[in-house]
Amino acid sequence: MSDSRDTWMVGDLLDAMSGSHIPNYVTMVIQEVQNWLASALSEDYMADIADVVSGEHNASADVEYLLSQIEWANSYADVLPAKTAPRQEDALILSVGHMILDEGLRMLVDHAALFGRDICRRVWLITDTWVIGDVLPYIAHLKALRENGVQLHCMLVTPWNYMEIPWNKDTEERK
Q: pLDDT tens, 29-50?
A: 999 999 998 887 775 655 555 5
pLDDT at 168: 60
Task: Look up the pTM and report it.
Answer: 0.77
Give helix then strand counts, H and E, for the chain: 7, 5
Phi-psi category of residue 19: left, alpha or beta, with phi > 0 → left and psi -120 to 50 → alpha: left
pLDDT at 175: 43
Residue 5 lies inside a defined structural domain of this protein: no
**Is residue 150 within 8 Å of residue 120, measured between CB atoms?**
yes
| pLDDT band, residue 166 (cuts 50/70/90) | confident
Does 88 fall in a domain? yes
Q: How confident is the model at residue 57 (pLDDT cuts 50, 70, 90)?
A: very low
Of residues 15 and 112, more confidently modeled: 112
* pLDDT, tens only, 67-121: 889 999 999 999 998 878 889 999 999 999 878 899 999 999 999 999 988 999 9
> Cβ distance 157 to 59 under 8 Å?
no
Q: How many structural domains are present in the chain?
A: 1
The torsion angles phi and psi of 133, rounded to 5 degrees, stand at -65, -30
Q: Is residue 80 part of a domain?
A: yes
Residues 73, 32: Cα–Cα separation, whole Å: 11
| Span of 9-13, 69-73, 158-162, 170-174 with lowest mean pLDDT | 170-174
Residue 171 lies in a domain: no
Which secondary-structure segment (H or E) carries 15? helix 10-18
* Structural domain boundaries, residue 21: 10-165
157 is a domain residue:
yes
Report whether pLDDT(133) > 80: yes
**Residues forming a β-bridge with 163:** 156
